[in-house]
C-alpha cells in the first residue's frame, strides 16, 4: 500500500496552520480568541484580558550570525514578540525564552545574547519569567513567548475593520528589507575577500532597521493618550501587502492602498534605488519593519491628523470592491502578498 506523502510547500505556512488546527475547538469559557490573530486573548476578569503570543527564530532561516551580532539578536527576538502584543492594543508584561543551542557557542556568546534580551526587557518594561534550555545538533533556535494585558473592550483584532475606515501605518516602511540587502552585499564581498572590511557607511539607519527593530509600544501609548481605539490592527512583520490582506480577509472588507502615501524614509529610497529596487515594492513585500498597521473610524481622524508617527495610507472598502494598490499613475492593481514564505527557501 502506498503511503500518502504531501510536501509542505503544497500548503504554505498559513495553509499548513489551517490544515493542522481546523478541527480544534475551544472549550474554556476564558478563551476569547485562540488561533488567528497576533496573540491569543484570554479573559482574566470582567474587564481585562491576558494576551499570549509566541514566535520562533531559527539560525539560517530568520537570522544569519555572520552579520547579526548575538546582542542584537537577543534584542530583536524580544522586540518582535512584544510587537505582537502591541498589535492587539495591549501592554506587554512578561516573556519566557526557550533556546536550543549547539556546542559551537561558548558561554560568552550566550552571555551576549542575554545582554540583548535584558536591554529589551528594560526598554519595554517586561519581566523574564522562565523558559527552557536544551542542546541542538545545529546552530541556535530561540522561541520567545510574550504575555500582555489589555482592557477587553479596547483590544484591536485583525477582524474589526469597517467600510470607510482609514488605513494607517506607523513609522516608515521598507527600511529593514533594504538594510538586509546592504548586509547581504557586504557578506558576499567579505566571503570573496575576507581582508575587505564591511562598508556600511551611510547605511546606519537601514542596517539598524534590520538588526535592531523596535516594537512600537510608544504608538500604543499615543493612541491611548489620544483616546483612539483602532478598529483593527496587525504588526508589519511580513510586508505591508501581506498584512493589509490579512486585515481585509479577517474583516471581510476590501481596501485602496495608495503608493504615494506609503511612508518611506529618504535613506531607504536612496539605497533601494542603488540596488535597482522600487522603494514601494520594498515596503509592500520586504517585511520585518515591525511597524503597526491599523484602521480607525473616520470620526477619529481629527485626533491623529498631523501626528508625525502615523500616516494615512488608504481606506477600507466593501469586500466586493476588492483589495487594490493604486500606483503613482492612478492605476489600481490587485494587491498580492509576496511576503517571505519560509517553506520556499
Ligand atoms: P504571526 O505572523 O503573528 O507570528 P503566524 O502567522 O505565525 O502569526 O500564526 C497565525 C496564527 O496561527 C497565530 O494565531 C498562531 O498562534 C497560530 N499558529 C501558528 N503556528 C501554529 C501551530 N503550529 N499550532 C497551532 N497554532 C499555530
Ligand atoms: Mg508566527
Q: What is the pLDDT along the chain (345 residues), one digit of tens a residue?
A: 567 888 888 888 888 999 999 999 999 999 999 999 999 999 999 999 999 999 999 998 888 888 889 999 999 999 999 999 999 999 999 999 999 999 999 999 999 999 999 999 999 999 999 999 999 998 999 999 999 999 999 999 999 999 999 999 999 999 999 999 999 888 887 777 777 666 667 789 999 999 999 999 999 999 999 999 999 999 999 999 999 999 999 999 999 999 999 999 999 999 999 999 999 999 999 999 999 999 999 999 999 999 999 999 999 999 999 999 999 999 999 999 875 454 443
C-alpha 72 – ligand 1 centre gap (Å): 24
Q: Which residues contact 241 (CB under 8 A, 6 or more apart)?
A: 284, 285, 325, 335, 336, 337, 338, 339
Structural contact between residues 76 and 211, judged by C-beta atoms closer than 8 angstroms: yes
Contact between 85 and 156 (Cβ < 8 Å) = no
Report the atom number in ligand 1 closest to the C-alpha of 21.
25
Pairing of strands 40-43, 91-101: unpaired
Going by C-alpha positions, the residue among 49, 31, 246 that lies closest to residue 155 is 49
What's the CA-to-centroid distance between 36 and ligand 1, angstroms? 7
**pTM score, two decimals?**
0.93
Contact criterion met (CB below 8 Å) for 41 and 88: yes
CA-CA distance, 32 to 40, in Å (whole number)?
A: 8
Residue nearest to ligand 1 atom 10, measured at CA: 36
Other CB atoms within 10 A of residue 2 CB: 4
Rounded CA-CA distance 31/36 in Å is 13
Which atom of ligand 1 is nearest to 84's Cα? 3
The CA dihedral of 247, 253, 254, 259, to the nearest 10 degrees, is -30
Atom of ligand 1 nearest to the CA of 34: 14
Give the CATH superfamily of 8-154. PurM-like, N-terminal domain (3.30.1330.10)
Tell me the C-alpha distance between 122 and 120, whole Å: 5
Spell out a b/e string for 68-94, using b for 16 or more CB atoms within 10 Å of the CB, else e: bebbbbbbbbbbbbbbbbbbbbbbbbb
Binding-site residues, ligand 1, Cβ < 6 A = 17, 21, 35-38, 55, 84, 237
| Ligand 1 midpoint to CA 34 (Å) | 10
Domain 158-334: which CATH class? alpha beta
Cell of 103: 556546542
The domain locations on the chain are 8-154, 158-334
- Write the CA distances from 185 to 173, 188, 196, integer angstroms: 21, 5, 12
Instruction: Pick the atom of ligand 1 nearest to 235's CA.
Output: 3
Amino acid at each position: 500500500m502506498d503511503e500518502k506523502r504531501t510536501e509542505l510547500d503544497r500548503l504554505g505556512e498559513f495553509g499548513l496552520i489551517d490544515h493542522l488546527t481546523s478541527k480544534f475547538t475551544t472549550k474554556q469559557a476564558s478563551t476569547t480568541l485562540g488561533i488567528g490573530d497576533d496573540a491569543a486573548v484570554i479573559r482574566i476578569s470582567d474587564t481585562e484580558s491576558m494576551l499570549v503570543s509566541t514566535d520562533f527564530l531559527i539560525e539560517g532561516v530568520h537570522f544569519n550570525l555572520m552579520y547579526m551580532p548575538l546582542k542584537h539578536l537577543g534584542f530583536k527576538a524580544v522586540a518582535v514578540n512584544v510587537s505582537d502584543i502591541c498589535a492587539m492594543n495591549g501592554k506587554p508584561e512578561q516573556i519566557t525564552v526557550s533556546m536550543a543551542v549547539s556546542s559551537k557557542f561558548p558561554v560568552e556568546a550566550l552571555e551576549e545574547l542575554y545582554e540583548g534580551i535584558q536591554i529589551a526587557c528594560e526598554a519595554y518594561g517586561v519581566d523574564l519569567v522562565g523558559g527552557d534550555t536544551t542542546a541542538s545538533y545545529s546552530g541556535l533556535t530561540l522561541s520567545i513567548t510574550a504575555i500582555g494585558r489589555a482592557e477587553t473592550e479596547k483590544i484591536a483584532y485583525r477582524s474589526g475593520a469597517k467600510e470607510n475606515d482609514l488605513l494607517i501605518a506607523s513609522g516608515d516602511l521598507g527600511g529593514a528589507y533594504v538594510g538586509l540587502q546592504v548586509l547581504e552585499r557586504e557578506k558576499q564581498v567579505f566571503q570573496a575577500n575576507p581582508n575587505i572590511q564591511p562598508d556600511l557607511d551611510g547605511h546606519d539607519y537601514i542596517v539598524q532597521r534590520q538588526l535592531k527593530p523596535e516594537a512600537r509600544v510608544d504608538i500604543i501609548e499615543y493612541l491611548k493618550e489620544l483616546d483612539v481605539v483602532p478598529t483593527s490592527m496587525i504588526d508589519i512583520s511580513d510586508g505591508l501587502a501581506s498584512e493589509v490582506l490579512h486585515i481585509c480577509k479577517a474583516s471581510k472588507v476590501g481596501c485602496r492602498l495608495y503608493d504615494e502615501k506609503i511612508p518611506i524614509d529618504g535613506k531607504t529610497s536612496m539605497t533601494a534605488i542603488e540596488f535597482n529596487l522600487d522603494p514601494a515594492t520594498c515596503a509592500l513585500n520586504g517585511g520585518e519593519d515591525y511597524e503597526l498597521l491599523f484602521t480607525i473610524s473616520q470620526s477619529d481622524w481629527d485626533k491623529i491628523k498631523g501626528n508625525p508617527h502615523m500616516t494615512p495610507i488608504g481606506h477600507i472598502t466593501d469586500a466586493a470592491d476588492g483589495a487594490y494598490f493604486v500606483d503613482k499613475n492612478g492605476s489600481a492593481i490587485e494587491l498580492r502578498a509576496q511576503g517571505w514564505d519560509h517553506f520556499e527557501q
